Every structure is written in structure tokens, then in C-alpha cells.
């Protein structure tokens, strides 16, 4: 589990095809490799991926993850290349502060940035989402975009808007987004389970 509070900005160092439908990504980070266990989970721009190796050279620290066919197809990971910047978050430990909201790292779909309004210190983003996900997004509810926990401002049809504060613009990849960007979207866990319970309830 994660919280949607980004703890590091990573950069893809290498993309290697391991086999058909399996891609290994080596990612530069500021985490101490000695504190990363092989088999640990790290959310990479919202997608929970398993560490398969980690290490350091004189100039950089890094870890590697494998992205399988479904991850490459359903998230933006299929478009990551050398130099792609990623929002990173390590998995939640018991006793850690829950500063955002509960995030599973299981991406529900890809949202498209269709408008950006820059103000003095903040930015308003408007995104279009797949029709199948609109029912899970509500004003004042939570969403995760590229791993960042955000509060929904307004919902209109298949679009919704969020306001990004200065700190988030500075310490995540959201500050450099341009119209047309595609972002990993995870809807709120509570909304997903509430909808499932309603679907499973007997109709009277």
C-alpha cells in the first residue's frame, strides 16, 4: 500500500526487453540501495512494481523492476524511455504517517490532460478519463495521478479538474506537464468497493 505522497523523483536509465511481453527498467533514485530489499514494492508514477535488483555506482543510485505485458498495456509504462522522469514512493510501513489517502498502486486506466491553467503559484489541470471510470470520481473525492494523491475539484461528464499546489508542482513531474500528456489514474479504493457492493446487492 501507498499514500500518494511522492518521496523521490526518479529517472529511467535503461529499458531492456527481457522476453516477449516483459521489459526491465533500471531507474535512478536518491534512495539508499542498502535500504531497498529485492522483492520490495515501489510505486513508479503510480504503478506498483517489484524491485528485482538494486545498486550504486560512483555517480548514481538505482533499482531495477520488471514490467509485464499487462502493465505495459494498461499504464503509461509502455511509453517510458531512457530519460523519462518518474514519481517514486516506497511502500507504506506500519506506523508511517498517512498523509494522502490509501493507494494500492494498481492503475485503473490512463487519463489525458486536456487543459492546463497556470496561476501565480498553482496550476489547474483538467483531464479526460475512460467512460468506465467516471462513476468512481466525485467532487472532493480522492484520485491518484501518476502516483500523486489529489483532491477532485469539479466533475463534468468524462472530465474532472484538480488544483496543484506549489510544493507538488516543485517536487513531482506534474509541474512539467503539457496538454496531451497521459497520466496513470487510480480511483479511490473506497469508491471502487462501494460501487462493487452496490452492484452485488440484491435488487428489490
Please indicate whether residue 29 is annotated as part of the active site: no
What is the per-residue DSSP string for 20-77? TTEEEEEEEESS-GGGPPTT-EEEETTEEEEEEEEEE-SS-EEEEEEEEHHHHHHSGG
Active-site annotation holder among 3, 26, 41, 172: 41
Catalytic option among 69, 122, 151, 195:
151
Sign of the torsion angle spanned by Cα atoms 114, 118, 119, 122: positive
68 is catalytic: yes
106 among known catalytic residues:
yes
From 47, 48, 123, 181, the catalytic residue: 48
Set 7, 106, 138, 191: catalytic member: 106
Contact indicator for 145, 112 with CB cutoff of 8 Å = no
Q: Does 48 qualify as catalytic in the annotation?
A: yes
2 catalytic per annotation: yes
Q: Which residues contact 202 (CB under 8 A, 6 or more apart)?
A: none
Beta bridge partners, 48, equal: 43
Of the candidates 2, 63, 136, 160, the residue annotated as catalytic is 2
Q: Give catalytic residue positions.
A: 2, 41, 48, 50, 68, 106, 151
Amino acid at each position: 500500500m501507498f499514500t500518494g505522497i511522492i518521496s523521490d523523483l526518479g529517472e529511467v536509465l535503461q529499458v531492456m526487453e527481457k522476453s516477449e511481453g516483459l521489459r526491465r527498467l533500471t531507474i535512478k533514485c536518491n534512495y539508499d540501495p542498502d535500504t531497498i530489499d529485492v522483492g520490495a514494492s515501489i510505486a513508479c508514477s503510480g504503478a506498483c512494481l517489484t524491485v528485482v535488483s538494486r545498486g550504486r555506482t560512483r555517480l548514481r543510485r538505482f533499482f531495477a523492476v520488471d514490467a509485464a505485458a499487462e502493465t505495459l498495456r494498461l499504464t503509461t509504462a509502455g511509453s517510458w524511455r531512457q530519460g523519462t522522469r518518474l514519481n517514486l514512493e516506497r511502500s507504506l510501513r506500519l506506523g508511517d504517517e498517512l498523509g494522502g489517502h490509501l493507494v494500492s498502486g494498481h492503475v485503473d486506466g490512463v487519463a489525458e490532460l486536456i487543459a492546463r491553467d497556470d496561476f501565480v503559484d498553482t496550476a489547474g489541470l483538467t483531464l479526460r478519463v475512460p467512460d468506465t471510470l467516471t462513476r468512481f470520481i466525485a467532487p472532493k473525492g480522492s484520485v491518484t495521478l501518476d502516483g500523486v494523491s489529489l483532491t477532485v475539484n469539479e466533475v463534468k461528464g468524462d472530465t474532472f479538474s484538480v488544483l496543484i499546489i506549489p510544493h507538488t508542482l516543485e517536487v513531482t513531474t506534474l509541474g512539467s506537464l503539457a496538454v496531451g500528456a497521459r497520466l496513470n489514474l487510480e480511483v479511490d479504493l473506497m469508491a471502487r468497493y462501494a460501487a462493487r457492493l452496490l452492484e452485488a446487492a440484491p435488487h428489490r
